[in-house]
């Protein structure tokens, strides 16, 4: 097999941050490599500034025969990247909800269900006003988390205030500052970096965690355990998700029918940032 046929491509469109800031993708790539490397397949990662540059990368890779397949992340409704890789003849695996995949193999996590679980956890702790720092609303997984959180908040009779972030530390600080005008007693952040930003912002305002405000992160990287105080988190086995995506890619490269691969269930890990 030629070298160009022994690579799987992963493109991350990140306008305001670099890959090194985001623990999720370090763990995800680790999982990919655990499966792909023994199979003789390497992972080619490229970070670009926007979706247009991402699409151009797929076109260039296909023209130059640089990869044998790609993994698509952060999809939106009717995402044109799905049809693009089809036109380019690139086998692809989607990391996201099956509704975004249009027949491609999918590694799926129940974002709406886990968001409901996070709200339920805080409501059971007595919180009646909960802030939610979300990711970009153009992503389907953000929409699912927002809707899941809203549904659970209505069912439990708690107030939910949602503010948009972009997964960066800076956006987390801005979002938490906005949320504080609504006087929440708990905040859920859609990734670890924004949760760390929440801790720092609250500390600067002399608000104690968890005595004044509880904070819950999403993903549960090592950053959550090292934070002060350690962060409670909706914990995902991200390395295992990477392994599933790698197996889905090997199946796609072998011409097997597309399937939905269910990620391991997430669960709340309770640490010192919640009461």
Reported as a single tens digit per residue, the pLDDT across 242-273 is 999 999 999 999 999 999 999 999 999 999 99
- Angle at alpha carbon of residue 125, lines to 122 and 131, rounded to 5°: 35
Residue 14 has pLDDT above 80, yes or no: no
Residue 189 to residue 198: CA distance in whole angstroms: 8
| Residue 174 and residue 140 share a domain | yes
Same domain, 103 and 46: yes
Residues 78 and 180 in one domain: no
Q: What is the pLDDT of residues 170-228, one digit of tens each?
A: 999 999 999 999 999 999 999 999 999 999 999 999 999 999 999 999 999 999 999 99
If asked whether residues 217 and 252 sit together in one domain, one would say: no
Q: What is the mean pLDDT of the chain?
A: 94
- Say which CATH number the domain at 82 has: 3.40.50.2300
Write down the pLDDT at residue 105. Answer: 97
pLDDT at 3: 43
pLDDT at 118: 98
Report pLDDT digits (tens) over 65-105. Answer: 999 999 999 999 999 999 999 999 999 999 999 999 989 99
Task: Give CA–CA dist 113/239, Å, rounded.
Answer: 20
Query: Are residues 196 and 256 located together in one domain of the fold?
Result: no
Please check whether residues 74 and 115 belong to one and the same domain.
no
Whether the pLDDT of residue 1 is over 60: the answer is: no
The answer to whether residue 184 sits within a structural domain is: yes
In three-state secondary structure terms, 144 is helix
Segments in 188-267 forming alpha helices (H): 192-204, 222-226, 238-253
Q: Determine, yes or no, domain membership for 273.
A: no
Residue 261 has what DSSP assignment? E
Do 105 and 115 fall into the same domain?
Answer: no
Distance separating alpha carbons of residues 193 and 179, to the nearest angstrom: 17
Residue by residue, DSSP assigns 32-101 as HHHHHTTTT-EEEEEEESSHHHHHHHHHHHHHHT--SEEEE-S--TT-HHHHHHHHHT--EEEES-GGGT
The answer to whether 256 and 270 are in contact (CB under 8 A) is no
Domain-located, residue 190? yes
Domain hosting 214: range is 111-235
Residue 271 lies in a domain: no
> Is residue 161 domain-shared with residue 248, that is, in the same domain?
no
DSSP code of 165? -
| 107-155 tens-digit pLDDT | 999 999 999 999 999 999 999 999 999 999 999 999 999 999 999 999 9
**Buried/exposed 146-185: b ≥16 CB within 10 Å, e otherwise:** bebbbebbeebebebbbbbbbbbbebbbbbbbebbeeebb
Total count of domains within the chain: 2
Residue 19 has pLDDT above 60, yes or no: no
Domain co-membership, 71 together with 54: yes
pLDDT band per the 50, 70, 90 thresholds, residue 15: low
Question: In terms of DSSP bridges, do strands 232-235 and 267-269 run parallel, antiparallel, or are they unpaired?
Answer: antiparallel
Indicate whether 275 belongs to any domain. Answer: no
User: Between 17 and 111, whose confidence is greater?
Assistant: 111
Higher-pLDDT residue of 168 and 244 is: 244
Q: Do 143 and 96 belong together in one domain?
A: no
Same structural domain for residues 138 and 217?
yes
Binned at pLDDT 50, 70 and 90, residue 20 comes out as: very low
- pLDDT classification of 5: cutoffs 50, 70, 90: low
Residues 217, 192: contact at Cβ < 8 Å? yes
pLDDT of residue 21: 58
58-77 burial, b at 16+ Cβ within 10 Å, e below that, comes to beebbeeeebbbbbbbbbbe
- Maximum CA extent, the chain: 60
22 pLDDT above the threshold of 90 = no
77 and 117, same structural domain?
no
């Amino acid at each position: 097999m030629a070298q160009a046929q022994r690579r799987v491509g992963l493109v991350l469109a990140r306008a305001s941050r670099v890959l090194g800031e985001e623990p999720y993708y370090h763990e995800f790539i680790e999982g990919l490599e655990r499966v792909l490397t023994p199979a003789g397949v390497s992972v080619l990662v490229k970070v670009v500034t926007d979706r247009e540059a991402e699409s151009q990368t797929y076109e260039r890779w296909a023209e130059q025969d640089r990869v044998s397949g790609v993994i698509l992340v952060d999809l939106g409704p009717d995402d044109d990247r799905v049809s693009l890789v089809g036109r380019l003849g690139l086998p692809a695996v989607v990391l996201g909800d099956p509704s975004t995949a249009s027949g491609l193999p999918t590694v799926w996590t129940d974002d709406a269900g886990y968001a409901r679980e996070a709200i339920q956890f805080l409501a059971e702790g007595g919180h009646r006003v909960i802030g939610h720092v979300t990711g970009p609303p153009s992503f389907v997984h953000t929409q699912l988390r927002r809707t899941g959180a809203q549904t659970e908040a209505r069912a439990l009779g708690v107030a939910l205030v949602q503010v948009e972030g972009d997964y960066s530390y800076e956006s987390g600080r801005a979002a938490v500052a906005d949320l504080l005008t609504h006087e929440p007693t708990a905040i859920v952040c859609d990734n670890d970096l924004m949760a760390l930003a929440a801790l720092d912002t609250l500390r600067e305002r002399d608000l104690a965690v968890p005595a004044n405000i509880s904070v819950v992160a999403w993903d549960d990287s090592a950053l959550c355990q090292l934070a002060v105080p350690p962060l409670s988190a909706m914990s995902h086995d991200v390395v295992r998700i990477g392994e599933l995506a790698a197996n889905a890619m090997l199946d796609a490269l072998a011409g097997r029918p597309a399937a939905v691969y269910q990620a391991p269930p997430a669960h709340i890990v309770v640490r010192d940032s919640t009461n």
